[in-house]
Structure 1
Amino acid sequence: MGAYNRNTDGLDLVHKFAGQVKDRNFLVTGPTPGGLGAETAISLAAESPAIIILVGRSQAKAQQTIDAINGVSPSTKVKFVEAELSSLKSVRAAAQTILDDGEVSKIDVVINNAAVMASPQMKTEDGLDYQLAINHLSHFVLTNKILPKILAAGPGARIVSVSSSGHRFTGIRFNDPNFNEPDSYKEFAGYGQAKTANILYAVELNKRLASRGIHAYAPTPGSVATNLQTYLVALGDKATEVLDEAAYKVHGISIAETRAREPAKTLQQGSASLIRAAIDPDLVKEEGIFIDDANLTTDPEVIKSWATDPKLAEKLWGLSEELVGEKFDI
């Protein structure tokens, strides 16, 4: 039994590991007010980081989060970098903005949090599956591009890719990642593939960076009521059918039974797994890469083997490079 549980609050972990926050530089994607990215960034501000970089769609939308961070820690410099994650051109421009910023000499922790869930089938301007592009490929490009600044932070730096129990819906569709086959797309097949990709990306990053003291983790926040549910709400009457199919594949029970067994967490409880992944220095002494209820786990009932297989991680890296049209020598 781990030291933490589903009731652990992120802020408690920030205070516990205050020395891993103060005067360090953090980057968080998806800072929309009322979401996990915002909650995580505001919680981290409680122990006075030097810089928090927020990467999001519009500064106006993120202003409430920026103001909240300033209110908690006036000494923390907040930098907003605009990026439309469905556009690789926009992501690359954001990465260049960060690389060109002389005030940001290093980035100690990257938290790739921005996500979409269960969207209808769509393609990005790059011809990529919408969920795979936003949840994985955009972060793959952003993180790999800004790696010089992560490497500058040295041993102890972290790369956190937020995943989900939804990864248990399906692994990577290596032969058809963009769902070009007729009738192959399902809302949670797209989400499950993308959330599996988040974990496999962390597996491969560890293989490539752990010798330099830089580690990657893939936490799941659990079920938290945020705007991530936007597309499910839009499904209307069809939502229960879609959710039931997902719940049976992921949990083996209906969505109603799932909700009864695992009530929704608060934003603070949801942020705990992200924050532990980001700042607990002792994580490296434990086995695993997937963090659930703020505890590392290798339980095959919790994390599927298709999300941790090193060969699949290497294969996904190659596929990701192919899909984004760029190779990364890391």
Structure 2
Amino acid sequence: MAATFGAATDGTTVVRHFADQVKGRTFLLTGPSKGGIGSETVISLAHGSPDMIVLIGRTLAKVQDAIDAIKETNADIRVKFIETDLASLKSVRKAAEAILNDAEISQIDVVINNAGVMACSYTLTEDGIELQLAASLTGHFVLTNKIMPKILAAGAGSRIVLVSSTAHRYRPFNLEDPNFAAEGTYTEYDGYGSAKSAEMLYGVALNRRLAAPRGIHTYAVHPGGITTNLQEHVKAHGEAHMMEVFDRVCRVVNGVSIADYLAQSPLKTLQQGCSTTLVAALDPDLVNRKGYYLEDCTLTTDPALSKTWATDPDLAEECWRKAEELVGETFEF
């Protein structure tokens, strides 16, 4: 019997419903820091008895709580931590090499690209890439593409999930100037919206390469409004600034003020916030339905929710080529 999931669904509910899609499988997730939806995602997965969970994070200290919680839930789960800074292509390539060379990781059934940076001041990484774009697109682009042999080894039915945001509706990917080099063009949320649109286009390009020929599907999700450390850059400027930014963005993204939006859609708990990611990762019936983008555990093709500029196949190929240009590497598989 099909389950009915929605905004209030907990992650553990999804895992228990699709337990046969979790048991014995290997999951890789980026960004499992304490107090975030990535951590909550892997803790929820532990209730389904996966064989292995591979955690990609900046420091062990940020990830240790998630490891401890996984082991407390099921001590038999193998957990691997790989220290990685997704904003550094050198670090990402080193992590990918470690994964490819690890004989214990024979395959990766599900990749969840969860890590991100939101609304930070203008910053270029050591590779000359705008930080939000590096965290959402280029870091995941290189990591996922380089570990593709392990994903392909899992075969048809494996998944790649991109944790995006309704912020993709704020603006398209800035293809002509992805790093906002032109003076006066960057704002914190222009950078974030552009990066999230780019992330979604990357997933569309992955589907073109993997879905029909190999049975490996990619989905993008919006987890919902949740208070996590993702908002740290906005909060640093004070509550008044934060609410002003969120109100301006909410009017563009959702067509209503932040006050009206929160009255209609209260903030989610972390458990509710990880459920859409888990539906995208686990629901085997998704491949039989149209759509690529999920909100509130629901696959949707509504152009008001999933903007054409983030799902257009031609734009996706332009994004792929731009990403290859930014990282200085081409990928074929």
The TM-score with structure 2 as length reference comes to 0.97
> Which amino acid letter does the alignment assign opposite residue 304 of structure 1?
K
Q: Which residue of 1 aligns with 2:191?
A: 190
Q: Which residue of 1 aligns with 2:250?
A: 247
Q: Which residue of 2 aligns with 1:297?
A: 300
> Which amino acid letter does the alignment assign opposite residue 320 of structure 1?
A
Give per-residue Cα distances to partners, 1:43-94, cap 9 Å, x unaligned.
0010110000000001122111101000111110000000011111001101
> Which amino acid letter does the alignment assign opposite residue 283 of structure 2?
D
Q: Which residue of 2 aligns with 1:322?
A: 325
Say whether residues 1:272 and 2:275 are aligned partners: yes
Structure 1 residue 239, shift from structure 2 partner: 2.1
Give per-residue Cα distances to partners, 1:211-259, cap 9 Å, x unaligned.
2010000011010111011011012232222222211110112222222
Mapped partners of 1:82, 1:214: distance in 2: 27
- What secondary structure, in the 3-state scheme, does the structure 2 residue paired with 1:85 have? coil
Mapped partners of 1:268, 1:243: distance in 2: 23
Structure 1 residue 3, shift from structure 2 partner: 3.0
Mapped contact 1:10–1:43 kept (Cα < 8 A): yes
> What are the residue-to-residue correspondences of 1:132-171 with 2, within 5 Å?
132-171=133-172
Deviation above 6 Å: which 4+ runs of structure 1? none
Say whether residues 1:73 and 2:94 are aligned partners: no
Q: Which residue of 1 aligns with 2:289?
A: 286
> Which amino acid letter does the alignment assign opposite residue 176 of structure 1?
D
> Which amino acid letter does the alignment assign opposite residue 120 of structure 1?
S
> What are the residue-to-residue correspondences of 1:51-70 with 2, within 5 Å?
51-70=52-71
Mapped partners of 2:292, 2:11: distance in 1: 18
1:219 counterpart (216, 221, 237)? 221
Q: Which residue of 1 aligns with 2:120?
A: 119
Mapped partners of 1:279, 1:115: distance in 2: 22
> Which amino acid letter does the alignment assign opposite residue 270 of structure 1?
G
Mapped partners of 2:284, 2:62: distance in 1: 33
Give per-residue Cα distances to partners, 1:306-328, cap 9 Å, x unaligned.
01100000110000000011000
Mapped partners of 1:257, 1:152: distance in 2: 47
Mapped partners of 1:13, 1:36: distance in 2: 15
Mapped partners of 1:101, 1:34: distance in 2: 29
> Which amino acid letter does the alignment assign opposite residue 65 of structure 2?
Q
Unaligned runs of 5+ in 1: none
Give per-residue Cα distances to partners, 1:185-208, cap 9 Å, x unaligned.
111111111111121111111110
Percent identity, aligned pairs only, is: 54
Give per-residue Cα distances to partners, 1:106-145, cap 9 Å, x unaligned.
0000000001111111110111011000111100000000
Mapped contact 1:107–1:149 kept (Cα < 8 A): yes
Q: Which residue of 1 aligns with 2:205?
A: 204
- What secondary structure, in the 3-state scheme, does the structure 1 residue paired with 2:33 have? coil
Mapped contact 1:3–1:295 kept (Cα < 8 A): no
Mapped partners of 1:242, 1:120: distance in 2: 13
Mapped partners of 2:85, 2:294: distance in 1: 27
> Which amino acid letter does the alignment assign opposite residue 213 of structure 1?
G
Mapped contact 1:164–1:195 kept (Cα < 8 A): yes
- What secondary structure, in the 3-state scheme, does the structure 2 residue paired with 1:247 have? helix
Mapped partners of 1:238, 1:290: distance in 2: 30
Q: Which residue of 1 aligns with 2:234?
A: 232
Mapped partners of 1:76, 1:279: distance in 2: 18
Mapped partners of 1:9, 1:239: distance in 2: 28
Q: Which residue of 2 aligns with 1:11?
A: 12
Mapped contact 1:222–1:292 kept (Cα < 8 A): yes
Structure 1 residue 5, shift from structure 2 partner: 1.2
Give per-residue Cα distances to partners, 1:136-180, cap 9 Å, x unaligned.
110000000000000000000000011100100001111111001
Q: Which residue of 1 aligns with 2:132?
A: 131
> Which amino acid letter does the alignment assign opposite residue 235 of structure 2?
V
The TM-score with structure 1 as length reference comes to 0.98
Unaligned runs of 5+ in 2: none
Number of residue pairs matched by the alignment: 329
> Which amino acid letter does the alignment assign opposite residue 120 of structure 2?
S
- What secondary structure, in the 3-state scheme, does the structure 2 residue paired with 1:46 have? helix
> Which amino acid letter does the alignment assign opposite residue 197 of structure 2?
T
Say whether residues 1:309 and 2:312 are aligned partners: yes
CA RMSD of aligned residues (A): 1.0
